[in-house]
Amino acid sequence: MKSINAKSLSSLIADEYFKMNSSMSRGILNSLSSVKPKNSLEREVLALIMENQGLSKKNLTPLCQDTGVLTVFLDIGEDFSIKGNLKKEISIKLNEITKKKGLRFSVVDREKKYSNNPVIHIIQTNTKKPRIVLLAKGGGSENLSKMKMLSPSSSNEEIADFAVKCVEDAQSRGCPPYILSIGIGESAEESALLSKMALTGMFSHNKKSYEKEISSMAMKGANALKIGIQGLNFGETVADCRVLIRERHIASLPISVMFNCFQERVREIIL
């Protein structure tokens, strides 16, 4: 039995959490770079976004004041064990680096005590090398999440329509262009987990023909809304739609739709 040391792992995760908060994703940069501004306002908005990205990368400062709740997916094989309390160790290191680097404490309990504790999911697969997938997501995009029980006979078009309606309801409240995800699973909570996994782009989304079809329809419908970059009616509203569908109960179709803002912060670490 191989073991993973929680204390050592926590330092690596905390360092990556800081780095990912100061570097915009390549996918979003490509999306923004393809936009052809038609007036001075559009040019100014794009210039400010790129200036912010450049300053963050140069000065190692956060892309956004909301440095997000960190979700940790630990993908390990059956012959691995974890030595130590992973959540405790990551929490210690996250809070240390948050204070040291001047990030924001975004997690609060009912007694108004602030911290930056992570959400952790351990996933067992047949992987030979353990990997860590990190997602830091702010409150604005997280607040747009929706879950619904659709009719089990719902078509691909009806599934896509629900996602488009979520975007229509969201408008610009979560800082578009958005990364959108759709998760469908055996139960309500699994659909939410699959949606969050799909949002990272690291868990084989859009592999099946129906996933690709739903993604294409959802993107087409969402971009037809013309909400646009920062809600200013130009550029893409949704830069990508990631769909992950697994088995479900024959009497249910639980669907969860989640958003990421244009400051997409995701990392993959292979151990």
At 215 the pLDDT is 98
* More confidently predicted of 30 and 260: 260
Mean pLDDT of 232-250: 95
Residue 254, class by beta-carbon neighbours within 10 Å (0-12 exposed, 13-18 middle, 19+ buried)? buried
Amino acid identity, residue 106?
S
Reported as a single tens digit per residue, the pLDDT across 172-209 is 999 999 999 999 999 999 999 999 999 999 999 999 99
At 271 the pLDDT is 87
Q: What is the mean pLDDT of the chain?
A: 93
Q: What do you get for the CA distance between the two ends of the chain, in Å?
A: 16
Cα dihedral 224/25/261/61 (nearest 10): -150
What is the model's pTM?
Answer: 0.94
Q: Which helix (H) or strand (E) holds 53?
A: helix 40-59
The residues facing 179 across adjacent strands are 240, 260
d(CA 177, CA 24): 13
pLDDT at position 93 over 90: yes
Q: Which helix (H) or strand (E) holds 88?
A: helix 86-101
Q: What does 93-151 look like in DSSP terms, one character per residue?
A: HHHHHHHHHT----EE-TT--EE-PPEEEEEE-S-SS-EEEEEEE-HHHHTT-EEEEE-
DSSP one-letter code for 207: -
Tokens (6 digits) for 23: 């570097």
Contact indicator for 53, 99 with CB cutoff of 8 Å: no
Q: Walk me through the domains of the chain, giving residue ranges and CATH numbers.
A: 140-262 (3.30.1330)
d(CA 185, CA 181): 13
At 156 the pLDDT is 98
The single residue listed with the structure tokens 């782009």 is 201
Query: What are the distances in angstroms from CA 240 to CA 30, 134, 235?
Result: 12, 18, 13
At 77 the pLDDT is 83
pLDDT at position 79 over 90: no
Cα dihedral 91/265/169/203 (nearest 10): -90
pLDDT at position 1 over 80: no
Quick one: how many helices (H) and strands (E) in the chain?
Answer: 8, 12
Q: Under 8 Å CB-to-CB from 258, ≥6 apart: which residues?
A: 141, 142, 144, 145, 180, 181, 183, 192, 195, 196, 198, 199
C-alpha closest to that of 245 among 209, 202, 200: 209
